[in-house]
């Protein structure tokens, strides 16, 4: 009986510890989000969205150019990485499923998903920024696209694999060629899942700072084209948070608030879509 | 006849195009390594192998070594793993097995949201909220009670290795926890039920069935988290202090490869300075490549069942 009591006691202790660990996670989430929301909301007002940054030390102004810059670069990166990633994912799922080459490509893309993003920034600096002679929005967009690419291709592959084989066979039996089946049948069947993957990739790069530090850099002005240093929220956040001015630090919290909300919104949305799909 | 012919060629072209893009991923990978290597050549020629073991970092005399940055990266990652791994396995157990059904969804979502918060937000939160807390309360307490150890000496500034390790731990914790939870969820239900049927307590099922079954997968999750921690830049750059000297004290400011790159890359004014920084990047890329490579191998094997 004593032995049994001891087993139950040990069980309770472990249960308690692991519950405490999970509670700690929940507490941290509320703490961080609470701080970001409380301090961020103080900075977010009309001028924050509509005006340019002020010179160092001057109060007022906003981060309108950085908001637009982040949006532009994210859209450009999405336009570059999505076709590339979807086609690569198509090969992995449809033609290279059990091949050795497929295994190798899968292995390297999985590594690239978690590769340090600052190294991607160094790479783009070496191949784009230095030959061109200046920092540019395009260089920033390219480094974001490189980070998105493996995420898009791997999720595309997974989603295409979920489409039942019978669907392909039925279409083939009708005499349709494969290159017509893919867009008209398979992509359609996997559309929601593929969109989720793309959104996950966007959420991933929307908060990226490291690869932008020496590709897009930052700028206090409105951009005239993507071919010049470009303001963006994350690098502005970094510079402002490290600055000695209270007003700038408040603005950094505002930027953190915007980015966090956008990323969390995208994450929750993807979860809802996936959940709805799996409950069908 | 003609349509059948077209159909065949259409498919060949389609297959070729998709293959080209799939190979494009490999080409991109090769281009990254190749360019970094090429760009590091001046530094490799000048410093040779001693780049890795020299603790010099002197932009004025153009004398560079990676030793301090590599040690900083490894120490901050090690600290983070020591804190994060036990806690995240506890969280994963809770989410997969121990929690009452109604708690699983909200806790699971919370952990996944924690993993999604951009690292720069973590870094900033640490700088403004946690660093003051560390310097005012945690570090003096550690110094008072454990001051006889060389790790907890020196002025408590709130920045430095210990704070950096804590940020990293907090960042990778939700990540390791959610992958580990997925590993635990893959343990077959009938194995667990058989054990419960024999009168095992929950903890005994976890210890004797779930952990042995998923150990490869868990190891993979840990290495994946480690890969993240090694390459993490923004969360660390805020709080590590960016100083090029080694100290036994975890309160002392240090540097890591990623934070050195973030702080100095745009300031590099000579070719050899830039080349040395690129070589630092290459070293970081290779370290994470090895760690993530191991992680992928183990996760894959873990997924293929058995886990033995």
8 A C-beta contact, residue B151 and residue B127: no
Q: Which residues of B touch A102 (CB under 8 A)?
A: 22
Domain presence at residue A242: yes
* Nearest to B283, CA basis, from B256, B255, B246: B256
* A24 in contact with B, Cβ within 8 Å: yes
* B37 in contact with A, Cβ within 8 Å: no
Domain presence at residue A41: no
Inter-chain contact A32–B258, Cβ cutoff 8 Å? no
Number of domains in chain A: 1
Positive or negative, the CA dihedral A108, A157, A208, A69 is positive
Q: What is the mean pLDDT of residues B285-295?
A: 89
B55-70 residue pLDDT tens:
777 777 777 878 888 8
Domain presence at residue A95: yes
* Nearest to A108, CA basis, from A74, A141, A146: A146
* Nearest to A191, CA basis, from A219, A162, A230: A162
Domain presence at residue A18: no
Q: Is the pLDDT of residue B177 over 80?
A: yes
Lowest mean pLDDT among A18-32, A63-77, A95-109: A18-32
pLDDT value at residue A279? 52
A248-275 residue pLDDT tens:
888 889 999 999 999 998 888 887 877 7
pLDDT value at residue B244? 66
Q: Is the pLDDT of residue B304 over 60?
A: no
- Residue corresponding to tokens 């490290």: A242
* B302 in contact with A, Cβ within 8 Å: no
Instruction: Find all residues with CB under 8 Å of A147, minimum gap 6, and list them.
Output: A117, A120, A204, A205, A208, A211
Q: Which residues of A touch B288 (CB under 8 A)?
A: 114-116
* A114 in contact with B, Cβ within 8 Å: yes
The residue of A87, A102, A118 whose CB has the most chain B CBs within 10 angstroms, and thus the best one to mutate to test that interface, is A118
Inter-chain contact B119–A271, Cβ cutoff 8 Å? no
> How many Cβ contacts (< 8 angstroms) between chains A and B?
248
Instruction: Find all residues with CB under 8 Å of B45, minimum gap 6, and list them.
Output: none
Inter-chain contact A114–B107, Cβ cutoff 8 Å? no
A213-230 residue pLDDT tens:
888 888 888 888 888 888
B193-237 residue pLDDT tens:
999 898 888 888 888 888 888 888 888 889 888 988 888 887 777
Q: Which residues of B touch A122 (CB under 8 A)?
A: 36, 261, 265, 277-278, 281
Domain presence at residue A90: yes
Chain B window 238-267: which residues touch A at a Cβ cutoff of 8 Å? Answer: 238, 258, 261-262, 265-266
Chain A: residue nearest B282 by CA? Answer: A119
Phi-psi region of B48 (alpha: psi -120 to 50; beta: other; left: phi over 0): left
* Nearest to A120, CA basis, from B258, B237, B240: B258
B111-162 residue pLDDT tens:
888 888 888 888 888 888 877 777 777 766 776 666 666 666 665 566 677 7
pTM for the full predicted model: 0.87
pLDDT band at B256 (very low <50, low <70, confident <90, very high): confident
Domain presence at residue A15: no
Chain B window 43-82: which residues touch A at a Cβ cutoff of 8 Å? Answer: none
* B176 in contact with A, Cβ within 8 Å: no
Q: Report domain extents, chain B.
A: 51-301
Domain presence at residue A22: no
Q: Is the pLDDT of residue A239 over 70?
A: yes
Closest CB from B39, B121, B262 relative to A213: B262
Q: How far apart (Å, rounded) are the C-alpha atoms in residues B121 and B238?
A: 10
The residue of A123, A176, A268 whose CB has the most chain B CBs within 10 angstroms, and thus the best one to mutate to test that interface, is A123
8 A C-beta contact, residue A130 and residue B277: no
Q: How far apart (Å, rounded) are the C-alpha atoms in residues A124 and A131?
A: 10
User: Does the domain spanning B51-301 belong to CATH 1.10.3660.10?
Assistant: no
Inter-chain contact A116–B91, Cβ cutoff 8 Å? no
CATH number of the domain residue A157 falls in: 1.10.3720.10
pLDDT band at A119 (very low <50, low <70, confident <90, very high): very high
* A157 in contact with B, Cβ within 8 Å: no
Q: Is the pLDDT of residue B163 over 90?
A: no
pLDDT value at residue B76? 87
pLDDT value at residue B21? 94
Inter-chain contact A177–B7, Cβ cutoff 8 Å? yes
Which of the two residues, B148 and A180, has the higher pLDDT score?
A180
Q: What is the mean pLDDT of residues B181-186?
A: 88
Domain presence at residue A216: yes
Domain that holds residue A107: 46-279
Q: What's the token pair of residue A232? A: 């963006």
Q: How far apart (Å, rounded) are the C-alpha atoms in residues B166 and B163?
A: 5
Gap from A46 CA to chain B (nearest CA, Å): 22
């Amino acid at each position: 009986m004593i032995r049994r009591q001891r087993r139950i006691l040990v069980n309770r202790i472990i249960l308690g510890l692991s519950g405490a660990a999970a509670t700690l996670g929940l507490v941290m989430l509320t703490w961080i989000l609470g701080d970001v929301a409380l301090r961020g909301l103080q900075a977010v007002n009309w001028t924050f969205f509509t005006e340019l940054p002020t010179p160092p030390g001057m109060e007022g102004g906003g981060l309108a150019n950085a908001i637009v810059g982040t949006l532009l670069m994210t859209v450009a990166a999405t336009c570059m990485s999505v076709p590339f990633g979807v086609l690569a994912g198509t090969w992995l799922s449809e033609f290279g499923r059990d091949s050795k080459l497929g295994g190798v490509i899968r292995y390297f893309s999985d590594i690239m998903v978690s590769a340090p993003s600052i190294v991607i920034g160094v790479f783009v600096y070496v191949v784009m920024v230095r030959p061109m002679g200046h920092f540019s929005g395009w260089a920033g967009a390219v480094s974001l696209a490189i980070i998105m690419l493996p995420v898009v291709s791997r999720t595309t592959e997974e989603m295409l694999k979920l489409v039942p084989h019978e669907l392909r066979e039925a279409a083939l039996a009708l005499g349709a060629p494969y290159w017509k089946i893919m867009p008209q049948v398979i992509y359609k069947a996997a559309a929601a899942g593929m969109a989720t993957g793309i959104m996950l990739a966007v959420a991933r790069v929307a908060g990226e700072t490291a690869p932008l530090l020496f590709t897009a850099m930052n700028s206090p002005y409105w951009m005239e084209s993507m071919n010049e240093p470009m303001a963006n929220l994350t690098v502005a956040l970094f510079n402002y948070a490290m600055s000695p001015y209270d007003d700038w630090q408040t603005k950094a919290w505002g930027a953190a608030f915007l980015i966090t909300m956008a990323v969390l919104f995208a994450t929750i949305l993807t979860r809802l879509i996936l959940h709805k799909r799996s409950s069908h | 006849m003609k349509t059948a012919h077209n159909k065949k060629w259409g498919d060949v072209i389609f297959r070729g195009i998709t293959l080209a893009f799939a190979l494009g991923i490999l080409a991109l990978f090769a281009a990254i390594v190749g360019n970094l290597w090429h760009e590091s050549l001046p530094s490799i020629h000048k410093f040779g192998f001693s780049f890795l073991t020299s603790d010099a970092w002197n932009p004025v005399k153009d004398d560079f070594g990676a030793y301090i940055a590599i040690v900083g990266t490894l120490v901050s990652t090690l600290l983070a793993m020591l804190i994060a791994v036990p806690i995240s396995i506890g969280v994963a157990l809770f989410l997969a097995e121990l929690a009452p059904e109604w708690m699983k969804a909200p806790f699971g979502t919370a952990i996944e949201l924690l993993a999604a918060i951009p690292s720069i937000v973590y870094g900033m939160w640490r700088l403004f909220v946690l660093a003051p807390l560390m310097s005012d309360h945690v570090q003096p307490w550690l110094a008072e009670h454990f001051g006889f150890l060389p790790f907890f000496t020196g002025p408590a500034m709130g920045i430095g290795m210990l704070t950096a390790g804590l940020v990293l731990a907090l960042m990778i914790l939700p990540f390791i926890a959610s992958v580990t939870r997925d590993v635990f969820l893959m343990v077959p239900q009938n194995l667990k039920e058989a054990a419960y049927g024999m009168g095992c307590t929950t903890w005994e099922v976890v210890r004797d069935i779930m952990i042995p079954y998923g150990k490869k997968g868990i190891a993979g999750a840990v290495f994946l988290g480690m890969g993240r921690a090694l390459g993490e830049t923004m969360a660390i750059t805020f709080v590590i202090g960016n100083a090029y000297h080694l100290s036994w004290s975890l309160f002392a400011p240090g540097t890591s490869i990623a934070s050195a790159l973030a702080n100095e890359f745009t300031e590099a004014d000579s070719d050899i300075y830039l080349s040395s920084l690129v070589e630092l990047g290459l070293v970081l890329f290779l370290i994470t490549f090895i760690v993530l490579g191991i992680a992928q191998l183990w996760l894959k094997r873990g997924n293929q069942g058995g886990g033995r």
